[in-house]
Structure 1
Amino acid sequence: MSAGLSKSFQRLYARIRCHRLPAALTSPLLLLGLAMPALTHANEPGYFMLMPTTMYTTAALAAVIATMLVLVSVSPRVVWFMYKPIPVMKVRNVPLFRTVTSLASMMILFGLLTVGIIGSNEPTQNPLPLYFWTIWWIGIIALHGLFGNLWYYINPWSGVLYVIDRLLPNDSRSERARAVESTLKQVAMWPAITVFVIFALFYIVYPTPDDPFRLAMVILGYWVTTLIAMCWFGERGWSNRGEFISILTRGYSRLAPVGVLGDRLCVGLPGWRIASMFSNRSTSKTTALFILLLLGVGSFDGFKGTILWLSMIGIDPLEFPGRSAVLWQNTVGAVIVNALVITLFAACVWLGNYLGRDKINPIPANYAFRSFAVSLLPIAFAFHVAHYLTTFLINAQHALAATSDPFANGANLLGLGSDVVSTGFLDTYGTARRIWIFQALVVVSGHIISVVIARMTAMRLYRSTRRIILSQLPVAGFLMAYTYLGLWLLALPKGV
């Protein structure tokens, strides 16, 4: 396989040299194909950035050092003090505001769906796939980790449900929602997990996830199905059990430095809401599984386009036959990666729980698994931001151009002209280096927050300092390995 990879690197050199990078950056690439260190960083098909091995190994070393410092030198009292939020101001819930923002979001969504159905078939010229996959899935989802649960206000169902309740008051609907609450508790989050798995396969495996018409039909179907489910089970019940976007954004929003606690807007270190919410309880088994799937799906999405993976499944990256030709290989790969993530994490938690056990009052392994799972949220979020960064920087420009000419008929509504999209910033070493540094900082920061949250979980479960440290060693090893994996994936060359 190494010989095949080396040959692919040498063939890639010719394409990159001719099309994308200046000679000053591409000259070392020929040596790269011969020596075989993981130096090339591909962010967008056809755009290659050379990430030096020393950059991600240094970042990984920093993560290891930070982990050891947290494990050994930080006392429980200091950790709890650090994660104590600071109240800033009182806040008042205004239901009408949420109704207005939700209705506005729904109108924007249906406008995009209309353009997706009757507009251009070209994904880079139709606003729907650009806004859905770039602005929303990459950008707005990432903002939840900074500013809190924006989806609570901009989801496209709350407003129309409010209108339905006002225009068609029906007490039986509320009674039915209360009656089925016990049923929803029994099914837990399995509906949301099922829908998320389908969404993930559509995004990372399906041949044409950015086809405007097909994407419009999928989104419309999901919107209608979710609206019906919320009318039947109640908005709150379905948002907590079946609507995976609400669950995902709620999880990421708990990493934000700002949040509401009671009737106060508070600020604190990233992840303080996780620390406060799960200080005395664990999450559910299905929530833990959902978090692990977030991590596994993100990992495989970063791996499936690399030359290493393509070589493993016998595909020449310079003669890529299309996603339909690797449909089953990618599906099996996604299943294997997610199974490995879940199995390895469960094994690490079990081992840590065994090492830190109290023979008189042991902690059940299942409870430990559910408790430690929330510590993976920061790493999953960091992967999301770092992995999609340059994709966002490029495709956001396409989204702006498509907004100016939504039907691809030559309109120039925003007066932007024809030269809207530029990838020149990727051709300069200074800009590329800043992108690498930012990505490395994001991944390492996510790792540190994960380690701190795992530390707080261990303090809650195991009490004594010795058992706390022993219980954390396997989990900390998993977190360090995954952080290195994330940095390594950023440095792997991509073929598609």
Structure 2
Amino acid sequence: MNRRTAIRRSLRPVSVLWLLGTFTGHAVAHGGSLRGSSESLSVPLWLFLLTGGGVVSASFLLASFVTDRTFIREIHDWRRRFSSLSPDPLVTATRAFGVLALVVIVAGGVLAPVDPRENVAILVVWVGWWAGYTATVYLVGNTWPALNPWRTIADVGSAVLPVGTATYPKRLGACPSVVGLLALVWLEVVSPLADDAELLVGVVLVYSVITLVGALLFGSDRWFSTVDPVARVFRYYGRVAPIRRTSAGFEFQLPGARLIETKLVTGRDEVAFVVAILWVTTYDGFVATSLWADIAGVVVRGGVPPLLVYILALLGGYGLFFGVYRLASELTRTTAETYLTAGEIARRFAPSLLPIAAGYHLAHYLSYFLSLSPALFGALSNPLSPPTPMMIILPSWFGGLNMSFVLLGHLLAVWVAHAIAYDLFPSRLQAIRSQYPLVAVMILYTMTSMWIVSQPTITPPYL
């Protein structure tokens, strides 16, 4: 296929997606903004959700009809490389900045004003890091290996302390990181961690001790590649991004192109972690809806302790998400008529879930970051005596932009799954049929995410 033919063919899916966006734009443009907006949908909720599911379905049909193996390979093999003359000083400066940020968080949490809108620790952790920085990881590239202050401290400590004296049990795999991620999100939901600076500092210190001890016992490479949940989240999010660092400099590929790599997810434990990334962001949004308030109210009035209600919801929801994905993998064996095991199918298709998580994270936190960014910069300018905190009031149409992020994440997920199917199965028909169950799951995830983002945000009750 020559370049001109490839360009013409590449314009076909782009044109159809543009038309789909045009016709569905009115449905998502009034979805209501995140963080407590009481805007109502300008269309019936059922029609709004079906529109989102329809866009995902149409994108799958479009990809199936207008692409072939050669075209997909050309898209995913396209890249541009940029040489870097001397990245070491930049890496060193980034490492020092990460350690400095950790010091500011710990000191600011104790010495800065207690008002969460003025406290530099709260604003840096939740606004600057978890909302703002995380978005740069899946939109630009993963800089966390250099910025990670705990890895920097562990590397310095390894020069004077014995490192790697213990052998990490291989049978555990990535399971501790799954437990750690679920535990951190549950703690963030059920405690005043986003409002109480002293509690936040306490959690950061406990996390620091566990992380540094683990890195020194098992070695930094093993700990941060396998056990540490934060490093693993950024590692997977970084595969969605278009830029990565190589030994020769930097490499640019289209977003999501690296998600089809065969060894990106290597076992069931890593499949479980990918599903956990998707679930915890959904859980964080779901427990701030009025539906959850009603459900939790009924259960708590029945005598169940509130903390137990939230942990049962966390584990039950995660089990549901994992079970649905596992069921789709089992059904794929039938629709694709393959001898591959369900576990192998689940492993190969798991990376296609990451754009969904990234799109929902952006929809969930971009409004939060933009609204509180003036308060963040004010606190950074004078941590001990910040100016009066200010907030940006976002326009009503911004809620529609959040819906677009959800849809774009799902559209990219469909494309990645389509590319993986063609890489996994030799027959075109087999590759297309293998995606039926997974696309059905993605439609379910899409409608769930859009429903959550469209709901007014309330304070989680009974805590």
Scaled to the shorter chain, the TM-score interval is: 0.7 to 0.9
- The CA deviation at 1:475 is 0.4
Aligned to 1:266, the other structure's residue is in SS state strand
Contact map agreement 2:328 2:437 (CA 8 A) in 1: yes
Q: Which moved more, 1:118-127 or 1:381-390?
A: 118-127
| Structure 1 segments of 4+ aligned residues over 6 angstroms from their partners | none
> Match for 1:432 among 388, 392, 396?
396
Q: Counterpart of 1:244 in structure 2: which amino acid? A: P
Cα distance change of structure 1 residues 85 and 223 upon mapping to structure 2, 3 Å threshold: farther
Q: Deviations over 1:233-266 (max 9, x none)?
A: 1111111111111111111111111223553522
Structure 2: gaps of 5 or more residues? 1-29
> Match for 1:143 among 136, 146, 154?
136
> Match for 1:134 among 105, 127, 134?
127
Q: What is the aligned-residue identity percentage?
A: 23
Aligned partners of 2:125 and 2:447: how far apart in 1? 30
The residue that corresponds to 1:29 in the other structure is none
Contact map agreement 2:186 2:311 (CA 8 A) in 1: yes
Cα distance change of structure 1 residues 282 and 126 upon mapping to structure 2, 3 Å threshold: closer
Contact map agreement 2:33 2:396 (CA 8 A) in 1: no
Aligned partners of 1:308 and 1:199: how far apart in 2? 23
> Match for 1:300 among 265, 283, 297?
283
Q: Counterpart of 2:138 in structure 1: which amino acid? A: G
Aligned partners of 1:479 and 1:164: how far apart in 2? 45
Aligned partners of 1:89 and 1:42: how far apart in 2? 39
- The CA deviation at 1:189 is 1.1
> Match for 1:457 among 411, 420, 428?
420
The residue that corresponds to 2:406 in the other structure is 443
Q: Counterpart of 2:34 in structure 1: which amino acid? A: N
The residue that corresponds to 1:479 in the other structure is 442
Aligned partners of 2:327 and 2:215: how far apart in 1? 37
Aligned to 1:372, the other structure's residue is in SS state helix
- The CA deviation at 1:381 is 0.8
The residue that corresponds to 1:122 in the other structure is 115
Say if 2:422 is the partner of 1:422: no
Q: Deviations over 1:48-86 (max 9, x none)?
A: 334434666544433321122113332121111111132
Aligned partners of 1:138 and 1:363: how far apart in 2? 39
Total equivalences in the alignment: 425
Cα distance change of structure 1 residues 42 and 304 upon mapping to structure 2, 3 Å threshold: farther
TM-score in terms of structure 1 length: 0.79
Contact map agreement 1:134 1:395 (CA 8 A) in 2: yes
The residue that corresponds to 1:74 in the other structure is 67
CA RMSD of aligned residues (A): 2.7
The residue that corresponds to 2:259 in the other structure is 274
Contact map agreement 1:126 1:212 (CA 8 A) in 2: yes
Say if 2:321 is the partner of 1:341: yes
Aligned partners of 1:260 and 1:475: how far apart in 2? 31
Aligned to 1:41, the other structure's residue is in SS state coil
Aligned partners of 2:187 and 2:351: how far apart in 1? 26
Contact map agreement 2:410 2:446 (CA 8 A) in 1: yes
> Match for 2:32 among 37, 41, 50?
41
Q: Counterpart of 2:236 in structure 1: which amino acid? A: G
- The CA deviation at 1:97 is 3.8
Written as runs of structure 1 = structure 2, the 5 A alignment for 1:6-155 is 41=32, 43-45=34-36, 47-53=37-43, 57-91=50-84, 94-95=87-88, 97-155=90-148
Aligned partners of 2:374 and 2:307: how far apart in 1? 29
Contact map agreement 1:42 1:491 (CA 8 A) in 2: yes
Structure whose alpha-carbon radius of gyration is higher: 1
Q: Deviations over 1:434-459 (max 9, x none)?
A: x2332222112111111111112222
Structure 1: gaps of 5 or more residues? 1-38, 413-417
Contact map agreement 2:333 2:340 (CA 8 A) in 1: yes
The residue that corresponds to 1:224 in the other structure is 209
Written as runs of structure 1 = structure 2, the 5 A alignment for 1:232-381 is 232-261=217-246, 263-275=248-260, 277-278=261-262, 282-314=265-297, 326-358=306-338, 362-381=339-358
Aligned partners of 1:281 and 1:329: how far apart in 2? 35
Aligned partners of 1:208 and 1:158: how far apart in 2? 24
Aligned partners of 2:103 and 2:123: how far apart in 1? 15
- The CA deviation at 1:187 is 2.1
Contact map agreement 2:116 2:197 (CA 8 A) in 1: yes
Contact map agreement 2:33 2:402 (CA 8 A) in 1: no
The residue that corresponds to 1:382 in the other structure is 359
- The CA deviation at 1:290 is 0.6
- The CA deviation at 1:228 is 2.0
Contact map agreement 2:158 2:216 (CA 8 A) in 1: no
Cα distance change of structure 1 residues 216 and 345 upon mapping to structure 2, 3 Å threshold: same
Contact map agreement 1:151 1:246 (CA 8 A) in 2: yes
Aligned to 1:230, the other structure's residue is in SS state helix
Q: Deviations over 1:211-238 (max 9, x none)?
A: 1001101101212221222122111111
Aligned to 1:120, the other structure's residue is in SS state coil
